[in-house]
Structure 1
């Protein structure tokens, strides 16, 4: 089982479902029928569909809370059938609706459950509890010794996520974790999950019946239909612009350019590739690169490729040695998981016409301008027109 564990910096592991079927005695048709699914390491994959389509059954078979009738589930190259179920579950985080915390235990004791089972010492557990409370936005001094009944629904869910992360598992299973929360709290926790994922890069299988939630958080979405099979598995932008069937289109609801703008992520469009250079780059070399590029400016990044400053030809002329602190500080960035609608608002309020886009761990992924967004909108609209034309032609 040790090969499923990974340091926090390396993130998740791949999961493969091969012809997985689950039939319950006296249940008629299978709950899940010959389901195939490839989940890449470090991605959020959302299982989306109406009640009874096999979403939760599929997810619970990954950690063997439900045993498959047939087929194989491969986790990081190892068949889950070959792993003791208890050991398997201790290395797969599990988050359910309404957190499922033990009411008679403090927050710290709830989070510490799996590390205790794994034999961690008290000092290590205490350090991990405080680290995770901080990670999910709860002050350790305030919440460590509190009981679940004293927490709001959103706070309980944060503790549930912390508990699932306690032993640093490579895989998280999340079964409608935000479904019982009010819309504002739900949106905040979705944003928090995306922030955590950028830092931790776990493999997350997330179950929901909410289309907007799936489109917002999923790297890939598997849309399911009874009896327990996948009818489309793709990135959110592809599902929005090219639904695979009438069933998918009806489940998504009426499409529109505004909805695509509201749900398409910055990372799903073609970004402007402004040249970037490290801060130790020689000024004379950098000046030649900028002149060759023709824009007249470039982005300076640190050793982890995080945006620091904009530098222009005028900033470099006459300078020698490393670029150092030349140029103007970057005053704002756009996150790759931000929607185009939010990115457009950020651009309108920005101090510069071009804003760097940050990918995972805040590394530079490209740049965005109003013209880039406009081009993306035109592409979306063209796809929508083509899709409508194809659908009308098919009829």
Structure 2
């Protein structure tokens, strides 16, 4: 039986500076950054702005010149570097797999260093290959040269997750892949994160990737400082200055629609209940609400069925298995553009929105989505007006 995964821990950078000898200005200058446990934070900026240096200081591949880095409340300076790195997963561009080792041996490196027994390692390898969409029987004994670029990156992610670290560092992991594979792996990473809730620091210079993946984005500028640290929606609708706006490439309504996430807008709150709830009481709630239905959730708040007024009329005792199965859900990480397509293809007017661990977060309808789009457009017009008056 698989062990319960270890969730992420907070990371805090306090006045962190890195100056390399003979280079003049520091690569990173008095950088402050608070990363909440279980979030994806993207370091975004052009080459030379200190993104990778900042990331590599977190696992002490580079030692800070000054300042402190707190990981789970503990100063990284007080942690043995080898022990620290064994509890921080690290994924780089083109995976960085050992070519002379099989896929299974690559994934098993850190568990072996931690002294896991052979059976536990073997079970973990198979579990992780399944998790990243690679059939263990097909891939565990393969060598990296036999894999496509996308498959190698999946193995790289599996290797980084092998010892179930609370923190995952990802340095432009999808940068060398073709656009279709890259988008697929981005989607898979978001799906994994909803289940695993790791603390992920992700480096990229690609704006669309940052806006798609990040819970928060740190827009960086030379020499190694943060210009704006905010959610994707905040950065899109209210860039801090001309540098941020120019780096984003300007905002248009279509771009906002394509990159704004469902979790960034106000959702419908339809009545919801559980299977063991009293059916007459739920019926009264449905009648008070006036929409004629409620959503039945399981013990982990995952959507199960829609139950209507007619399903419950005359029913005594618990709700039980009354109603019809939920036809589909929308992830809180889905873009508004993708959500619109999902709604147009849905059987019901309202579709449940799910967050972490597929838990119910609200519902979405075309009318709610259209209202959100109008609000986004209005904010964009207001921002442009303010800019023109400045």
TM-score by length of 1: 0.97
Gaps of 5+ in 1: 1-6
Name 2:264's counterpart in structure 1. 268
Counterpart CA distance in 2 for 1:361 and 1:258 is: 30
Q: Name the structure 1 match of 2:57.
A: 61
What is aligned with 1:177?
A: 173
Aligned equivalent of 2:9? 13
Cross-structure match for 1:113: 109
**Aligned match of 2:31:** 35
Counterpart of 2:269 in 1: which secondary structure?
Answer: coil
Compute the displacement of 1:296 (Å). 1.7
Pairing 1:286–2:286 present: no
Aligned partner of 1:91 in structure 2 is 87
CA distance in 2, matches of 1:117, 1:140: 22
| Counterpart-to-counterpart distance in 1, 2:4 and 2:325 | 31
Please, which of 254, 261, 268 is the counterpart of residue 258 of structure 1? 254
Q: Please list, as runs of the form range in 1=range in 2, the aligned pairs for 1:374-385 lying within 5 A after superposition.
A: 374-385=370-381
Distance 1:393 1:331 in 2: 49
Q: Which moved more, 1:44-53 or 1:279-288?
A: 279-288
Structure 1 equivalent of residue 230 of structure 2: 234
Structure-2-length-normalised TM-score: 0.99
Name the counterpart of 2:129: 133
Where do residues 154-193 of structure 1 align in structure 2 (5 Å cutoff)? 154-193=150-189
> Is 1:303 the counterpart of 2:318 in the alignment?
no
> For residue 347 of structure 2, what is the aligned residue in structure 1?
351
- Indicate the SS of the match to 1:56: helix
Does the alignment pair 1:197 with 2:154? no
Q: Tell me by how many angstroms 1:288 deviates.
A: 1.2
CA–CA distance in structure 2, aligned partners of residues 147 and 314 of structure 1: 59
The answer as to whether partners of 2:6 and 2:165 remain within 8 angstroms in 1 is no
Deviation, structure 1 residue 167: 0.2
Partner of 1:245: 241
User: Which residue of 2 is the match for residue 342 of structure 1?
Assistant: 338
CA RMSD of aligned residues (A): 0.8
Contact in 1 for aligned 2:271/2:294 (Cα 8 Å): yes
The 4+ residue runs of structure 1 with deviation greater than 3 A are 7-10
Shift of the alpha carbon at 1:10? Answer: 4.6
Structure 1 residue 294 displacement after superposition: 2.1
Aligned partner (choices 98, 103, 128) of residue 99 of structure 2: 103
1:78 to 50, 74, 77: 74
Q: 1:8 to 1:202 in 2, by over 3 A?
A: farther
Count of aligned residue pairs for this structure pair: 388
Give SS of 1:177's match: coil
Q: Is the 8 A contact 2:257 2:335 kept in 1?
A: yes
Hey, what does 1:322 align to over in structure 2? 318
